[in-house]
Amino acid sequence: MKTKTSSPRSGVLAGGNWIIDQVKLIDVYPQAEQLANIRSQSQGTGGAPYNVLVDLAQLGASFPLFGAGLVGKDALGRYILDDCRKHGIDARFLSSTPEAPTSYTDVMTEMKQGRRTFFHNRGANALWTGDDLDFSKCKARIFHLGYLLLLDALDSPDKQFGTKAAALLARAQAAGLKTSVDVVSEDSDRFPKIVTPALRYVDYCILNEIEAGKTTGFKIREPDGKLDTVALRHTAGSLLQNGVRELVVIHFPEGGFARTRKGEDFWQSSLNLPPKFITGTAGAGDAFCAGVLFGLHEGWDISRSLLTGVCVAASSLSDPTCTAGVKSLKSALALAKKFKFRPLLEPSD
């Protein structure tokens, strides 16, 4: 299947969470009142639009990149705006406010297993409504919004559309853009209330298996942790039934799965990376998303887009920050030849 690219529009506009990640590599995650050692520290990008746009820039995307959202009038906010300029990201819709600090996250990453624990300051992201976003002044082809559940103002109720985020997505579609969403992974029961209303105004829904399962109520993992491919397909079908117009993509450590509105299924295993290659998993989901959006924008078939997604995600794993591991598209795809793929995913009947 190939995606249609007949629209004169070009580029990806990404809005939502703009975050600075303070990534700390620790020897062990401590119990309460116990000590852990910080072995190294680095600063990196965080949040769906920031990560996806920087990844696309580093992959060598030839189409325009636009950022939208809100940062604080502070040093971190200035850093983000400067970083956008450095990567050729048009920040005309990325505003600054004195009312809240730029959002940041302390990311505690265990050295041996790469597991992450997040301490997050929502900051200016909580105030962004998207009201300042004029889609008629941006000729992007795709509007990517994330993360639902972590944008307080946009997660709030709307009488007509269900949530403010759904209203914003509807406005983007009405202006002629394809819409895409991502969701934050959290341990709550808010998914049906906040995510589901937005699905009616989404063309491409790109989630991980945890987020997809919490939105639809399906358990995608067996008690032993094995992926339940039957539940996975039911989950994708449920997301489509809830309104996703064209494509559902669900990613997980074992690979990725996509189902189209026509009922076509696509599977792609992840790369068989050696443990020493993986220095952190922060940003891998956004890297996968960037690879898939790259393919969707360019009109590639779904299989090629999924392959690109897992390769870009693999490159992201080579660095503890969200985006520093992502290089050119050529180098990302070369990882597939170097490491090969995990055993094929075997869909159950």
HEC string of 215-254 equals HHCCCCECCCCCECHHHHHHHHHHHHHCCCCCEEEEEECC
- State residue 254's pLDDT score: 96
**Burial, 119: exposed, middle or buried (Cβ in 10 Å; 0-12, 13-18, 19+)?**
exposed
Phi, psi of 311 (to 5 degrees): -70, -40
Q: Model confidence over 70-101: pLDDT tens digits?
A: 999 999 999 999 999 999 999 999 999 999 99
The pLDDT of 110-114, averaged and rounded, is 83
**Residue 125 pLDDT greater than 70, yes or no:** yes
Token couple for 276: 């020493």
- State residue 320's pLDDT score: 83
Token couple for 44: 């990196």
- State residue 8's pLDDT score: 86
- State residue 349's pLDDT score: 57
Q: Model confidence over 231-249: pLDDT tens digits?
A: 999 999 999 999 999 999 9
The pLDDT of 201-205, averaged and rounded, is 98
The pLDDT of 302-325, averaged and rounded, is 96
Q: How many residues does the chain have?
A: 349
- State residue 2's pLDDT score: 63
CA distance 207 to 28: 29
Confidence of residue 225 (pLDDT cuts 50, 70, 90): very high
Label residue 55 left, alpha or beta by phi (over 0 means left) and psi (-120 to 50 means alpha). alpha
- State residue 193's pLDDT score: 97
- In 3-state terms, what secondary structure has residue 301? strand
- State residue 314's pLDDT score: 98
Domain spans of the chain, in order of start? 12-339
Q: What percent of the chain has pLDDT over 70?
A: 97
Q: Model confidence over 22-35: pLDDT tens digits?
A: 889 999 999 999 99
CA distance 280 to 273: 13
- State residue 181's pLDDT score: 98
- State residue 344's pLDDT score: 73
**In b/e form, how buried is each residue of 45-59, taking b as 16+ CB within 10 angstroms?**
bbbbbbbbbbbbbbb
Domain 12-339 CATH assignment equals 3.40.1190.20: yes
- State residue 107's pLDDT score: 85
Angle between helices 284-298 and 48-59 (to 10 degrees): 60
- State residue 115's pLDDT score: 82
Confidence of residue 330 (pLDDT cuts 50, 70, 90): very high
- State residue 235's pLDDT score: 98
pTM for this predicted structure: 0.93
The pLDDT of 254-261, averaged and rounded, is 97
- State residue 91's pLDDT score: 97
- State residue 114's pLDDT score: 75
